[in-house]
Amino acid sequence: MSSGLFRRRSATAAWIYVSVACLFVGSVVAARVLGLVDYGVFATALVTAGFFQTLLDLTVEESLTKYGFRYVAAEDWGRLRRLFRQALLLKLAGGFLATILLVALAPFADELFDAGDIEQAILAVALLPLVQAAENVGATALLLHSRYDLRSVYQAGSAMLRLLAIVIGVQFGVVEALLAIVVAQAISTVAVSVVGGVAVRKFPSAPAKELGEDVPEIRSFVAQSSVATGVISLRGTLVPLVLGVVSNTVQVGLFRVAQTPQSGFAAASSPARLMLMTEQTRDWERGERAAIIAGLRAYSKWAGALMLVAVPVFFVAMPWLIRIVFGEDYEGATHAARIVLVSAAIHFVLGWTKSLPVTIGRPRLRIVTHGLETLVAIPLVVLLGAEWGVTGAAVAVLVSTLVFAAAWLVVVLRLREEVSAKVSLQP
């Protein structure tokens, strides 16, 4: 590995961890300052916004990465520019639709979640999907230059702005904190969009060119990626929403605390996942496919070894960590956090499952695997969450994760056979 590549990877990891630390501290500040009840309202509003944003916002950044690398490899700069323009328009349309639906939902929110002040909180955060819509388009332009280190810098900057917004906003209340987050996100989106625009202009100049025969394939890719992301949204954000409906917003707040191991492990694997998607998508387009399968195997082996050490330590320390970090009011999340810890470890070992479908151009794999996970999780949350609150929801998450892991085991075995067959046919 060259020293330049090592520095770039190290910088990527460092800045991503800075962003994660900022987001984590923001959650702790909000939980401690707002208190158990108001934090439940705060968390419910953000989860609701995240659900509609992910569900309705078209996932074009994955196709932008996949086909962007294809056009870069072919030096088809005209189509690359057309691809960016279309992606930006679709993202803005999706964000606008999500905002409209949040505004429409707000008048019914108090009754839906059986709690006061939810309506105002959702209205305060309603603009978040719209102001965030263009951010990933600008960030993808950096990935096409293989500058995932710069992308991580702007990700960290965005997290710092959000932390500052929370620190200031929570001093005044839930609504003010949510409004501050929207403003911080708007500033972040403008910054990364400007830098992304510069990155696009650094490619050789060429007039925008129609995508032509690639249109059906790109449309199919975007549609499948969007459905896959929607399915993931159902798993990631609908679980706490359903818990709030069958239980109450306090349980939602506790569940967000219990999800800390999941957020932490996802953040820990984030640099590797970002680099996997960037480098392996590039290598796949070059035909270096056997090496990609070997890389997945190596990642899972080292990730599994790390989890064998980390999980027992955090399992034992969990009561102390929650009490010290979040406060005694949140001790009710302890059992749920331990259960989520096991689920998070499984997802950590399978961290490549988000990037691999993009790399090989099969986003439908995410639809199938995450679809199975969601089909198991949601009914179980309804049953177990109504009975045991946050702990029941955590059990539902763990069971669905086991189903997800089994599905991906089958997928990888079949993919390995396909790649081996193609390699054996090569002269």
DSSP string, 354-410: TTHHHHHT-THHHHHHHHHHHHHHHHHIIIIIHHHHHHHHHHHHHHHHHHHHHHHHH
CB 241 within 8 A of CB 51: yes
CB 200 within 8 A of CB 84: yes
* The pLDDT of residue 425 is above 60: no
In this predicted model, what pLDDT tens digit does every residue of 12-45 receive, in sequence order? 778 878 888 888 899 899 999 999 889 989 988 9
> What is the Cα–Cα distance from 400 to 392, expressed in whole angstroms?
13
In this predicted model, what pLDDT tens digit does every residue of 316-353 receive, in sequence order? 999 999 999 998 889 999 999 999 999 999 988 887 77
Per-residue b or e along 36-73, where b marks 16 or more CB atoms closer than 10 Å to that residue's CB: bbbbbbbbbbbbbbbbbbbbbbbbbbbbbbbbbbbbbe
Q: Quick one: which of 294, 233, 302, 314 has its CA closest to 272? A: 302
In this predicted model, what pLDDT tens digit does every residue of 186-242 receive, in sequence order? 999 999 888 888 888 888 887 777 877 778 877 777 777 667 666 666 666 778 888
Structure tokens at 245: 């409906």
Per DSSP, the three-state class of 61 is helix
Secondary element (H or E) of residue 120? helix 118-125
> What is the Cα–Cα distance from 7 to 20, expressed in whole angstroms?
20
Q: Specify the higher pLDDT residue, 160 or 52.
A: 160
Q: Specify the higher pLDDT residue, 417 or 331.
A: 331
> What is the Cα–Cα distance from 136 to 254, expressed in whole angstroms?
30
* The pLDDT of residue 301 is above 60: yes
| CB-side neighbour CA atoms (13 Å) of 27 | 24
In this predicted model, what pLDDT tens digit does every residue of 360-394 receive, in sequence order? 777 678 778 888 888 898 899 999 998 899 999 99
> What is the Cα–Cα distance from 375 to 370, expressed in whole angstroms?
8
